[in-house]
Amino acid sequence: MISNSVALANKVQSNLVYFHLWSEITQITLKLEENHIVTILQGQDPRNEHRHFDYLIPVHKTTKVTLKDLDLIFKHIGSSTGSVPKMMLMAIVDFDGSVLYYNVYEGLQRPNN
């Protein structure tokens, strides 16, 4: 089951602000199940011309993430905003503090080519 901490979210938030120049980043706490709380980030990517908010799931490299966890996060975001995002970013943090970002899509996504 996915779990993260506020400290991990703060590390990813710092990386987004100072390295990727994101703005308006906020931390959102989701209660997925009983005694299961996840912190996600919401912010604006300066390269995004649509000016909508993107969502990020900060996880440690050793965290096991299931499809059920991702589905619950997509549904919680959809219930709070009124629309389920088609894509989120998963921010994977290594032991040395480096952060790697992967696109995570809700449902099946057709490849570009």
Mean pLDDT of the chain: 87
Give yes or no for residue 1 having a pLDDT over 80.
no
- Which position has the higher pLDDT, 51 or 67? 67
Output phi, psi for 76, to 5 deg. Answer: -65, -40
> Which pLDDT score, from 0 to 100, does residue 3 have?
63
- 44 near 20, Cβ under 8 Å? no
3-state helix, strand, coil in the chain (%, to 5): 25, 35, 40
**pLDDT for 72-109, tens place per residue?**
999 998 888 888 888 899 999 999 989 999 999 987 77
Give yes or no for residue 34 having a pLDDT over 80.
no
Q: State the pTM of this model.
A: 0.84
Torsion of CA 11, 12, 18, 23, to 10 degrees: -130
